[in-house]
Chains A and B, each alone.
Chain A
Amino acid sequence: MKKLLSTTILSATFAVGMLAAAPAFAEDVLHIPNLSYRTGPFAGTGIPLMNGQRDYMTMLNERDGGVNGVKLSYEECETGYNTEKGVECYEKTKGEGIVTQPWSTGITLQVLPKSNVDKRAILAPGYGFSPMADGKTFQWAFNPPSSYWDGAQMLLSYVSGGNLDSLKGKKIALIHLDHPYGKEPIPLLEALAAKHGFTFMAIPVGLKEMQNQSAQWLQIRRENPDFVFMWGWGAMNAGAVNEAVKTKFPMEKFLGIWWSGHDGDMASAGAAAKGYRAISWNVPVNDAPVMADIKNYVADAGKSDTPADQAGWVFYQRGIAISMFLVEAVKAAQANFNTKTVDAEQVRWGLENLKIDEAKLKELGMGGMVVPFQTSCSNHTGHGGAWIIEWDGAKFNKVSDQLQADRAAIEPLEAAKAKEYADANAPWPMQECK
């Protein structure tokens, strides 16, 4: 009897489930998967980004009914920043999804070679492998609006006042996560150090030491570098800032990459970390029309997970910007191929012909929120540059004009590394660009 009962319940659940699932196929939708991480050691940084991404998509669905009449179905697949789950999610979402958003340099490295075979673009805004900028080699990968190498070069040019030769004889330390992501800027910094005559030292922080960096900061105190750059993520950012405060390291010498400029990470150090700066390709603009729309259509309607006080966070608004890149690519593809339901290959074309200029940003109600950039067949990053933001004890403020990376200094290395990658993965398909 008991068995019969449970069988009945089970089959009833199935039947109800099937009924509920059926209507979902009725209208045109674009499936936008995201390999999110709202769990695990990096959830603190992941959640605001994913919330921003989702809220922008929800806002478009609510306000405009999607993009040109096609609803956007934003679907998260939880990875917990775990590369193993990354494979699972990639395989799961590759059927219907029109793009891959891997959200981890480790997962990007795994899926990058597969993108050629599965014909689906990887969108890795501001992360991933810097040589992905070379669109001829990395046909299916995009990392707009600035790569890590752009970021490293801009940081150097910012601290040197625009002239890298003035760094001669100075010492620059990089405190980085000992992980593919954190090691990303090292080849460029080493090359520039040799060229301009400054000393460069890399100080790795292991994944297990993220919250206890006393050894690393002892080394920094001993070496007394002129500047410390940080490539940190998750718990490492807060750990580094707190340790810098504790060792009384002058904040004006401490600058981070865009993933190290997170309000949530700074909160624990608070006012003591005043003066910490980070480079960022987006800045929060709380009175932007798009923010008002998100408030109206999403937050006030109870469809957002973001607490009201976090809507001004750099990372939340970066999530919005990232969704905007993708939606603009979809729009470009829709216009070019004259179809509403674009497929993965058409979205790739859209990402390659993305033109986000000042006028466009104004039109979207996002003026000043993100650097303008334009991608092309051979340029998959766009190299829009970035701003410097400074922590005032409670929030980040923009403190510089828009910086631009000196591309001439980066391109040779980029081309060499892209070629190295293609050779190691031969046969690697290349793309012809006009």
Chain B
Amino acid sequence: MLYRTAGQFKTSYAADHALFPVRQDAWLLGVIMVLAWVVFPLAASDFTFQALLIPVLIYSLAALGLNILTGYAGQLSLGTGAFMGVGAYACYKIMTIFPGLNLAVAIGLSGFFSAAVGVAFGLPSLRIKGFYLAIATLAAQFFLVWLFEKWSWLYNDSASGAIQVPNLSMFGLGVAGPTATSITQYYFVLAVVSLVTIAAINITRGRIGRMWKAVRDMDIAAELVGINLMKAKLSAFAVSSYIVGVAGALFVFLWRGAAEPNLFDIPLSFRVLFIAIIGGLGSVLGNYLGAILIVALPVILNIVPEALGIPVSSSVVEHLNVMTIGGLIIMFLIVEPHGLARFWAMIREKMIIWPFPH
């Protein structure tokens, strides 16, 4: 009923392989786009921008980066937080060495630094897989955070050891730093995230994406059919770390405004990994759903008791919040082990055949 596919005929292979085989998918995306580009920015307050919209987008982007590596190419990584840090510190150095540079260019460039670091730490993946590889990326995590702490050149020898985002503007409009307005920052982040998402969809649906999936499903078989494993694995590390690095630069420049090294420590890696797993490995949509669950839901739950006028202290709410989110994660994983993206796919399937289930 809601998702009536009757009358939508495919007359060519191209149509059958289109991004939106069902017309309603495109409409739904259109609605979401209108919400994201028009309705939210017009309606949101500073709090909504800073605590909900911007972080959800940035975390989705980081999870998308990780998902390419873990979900599409099957290489487990625990170093996402550190790779985000590489992007952030690279962007900071670029912006302080070339103060006049356009921030968008700097963010684009900083991704290459994390891509290079990612490839370097991806080298062990040629020899080891699974948990062993996870340990190798864990080493990257510890090493890089240590480097952020000890290499004072990275933070321009500031006494506090933290990096601070200066006021930056593009075309006369403040985009980063304290004077930037939330709405500009939101549009900047949204534009970057949209661009990267489109690129990611195209890569994962194309030749390279199929190559990664083949490696993920069985690397020996992939090698036998002529896929160059080294190229496939390292390209996955490069693309993934590039996206993660861009997310890290956005994380500090467009959202936090300041960062100390331990921000990029292992809890951040786990957070991004949770988003990717709960959202659904091997999907693009899942990253957004996961980020909404892990990043936005706690914030919303935090304001619910107050909005209802229930007098509960903030620390109790925090404890309840941790319990609720933990419970929800377990529930979702039991109900649908393949993540929220699969959950949505099932709902969509049901809607297509409704009201006649088989």
Contacts and interface: CB of A to CB of B under 8 A. Distances in A.
Interface of A: 13-14, 16-21, 24, 36, 38-39, 75-78, 80, 83-84, 87-88, 91-92, 94-95, 105-106, 109-110, 113-114, 116-117, 129, 178-180, 183-184, 186-187, 206-207, 417, 424-427
B213 to A, nearest CB: 34
B198 interface: no
Interface stretch (B67-75, B216-224, B253-261, B324-332): B253-261
Contacts of A117: 178-179
Interface of B: 46-47, 50-51, 55, 149, 159-162, 164, 166-167, 177-179, 255-260, 262-263, 265, 299, 302-303, 307-310, 313-315, 317-319
Given A36-B315, A180-B161, A91 B51 contact: yes
B309 A24 contact: yes
23 contacts: A17-B307, A17-B310, A21-B309, A36-B315, A38-B313, A38-B315, A80-B318, A87-B51, A88-B302, A109-B260, A110-B257, A113-B258, A114-B257, A117-B179, A129-B160, A179-B260, A180-B161, A183-B159, A187-B159, A207-B262, A425-B164, A425-B178, A426-B167
Given A20-B310, A180-B260, 19 more contacts: A17-B309, A19-B309, A21-B308, A38-B315, A38-B318, A39-B319, A76-B314, A83-B256, A84-B55, A87-B51, A88-B47, A91-B47, A109-B160, A109-B162, A178-B149, A183-B161, A417-B159, A425-B167, A425-B178
A117 B319 CA distance: 33
Contacts of A17: 307-310
A333 to B, nearest CB: 24
Given A106-B162, A109-B162, A179-B262, A20 B309 contact: yes
Contacts of B308: 13-14, 16-18, 20-21
A52 to B, nearest CB: 15
A36 B50 contact: no
A425 B317 CA distance: 36
A13 to B, nearest CB: 7
Contacts of B46: 91, 94
B50 A113 contact: no
Contacts of B314: 36, 38, 75-78
Q: Is the interface of A mostly helix, strand, loop or mixed?
A: helix
A91 B262 contact: no
Nearest to A190: B159
A39 B308 CA distance: 23
Contacts of B255: 87
A300 B166 CA distance: 51
Nearest to B163: A109
A84 B166 CA distance: 19
Contacts of A39: 315, 318-319
B162 A91 contact: no
Contacts of B257: 110, 113-114
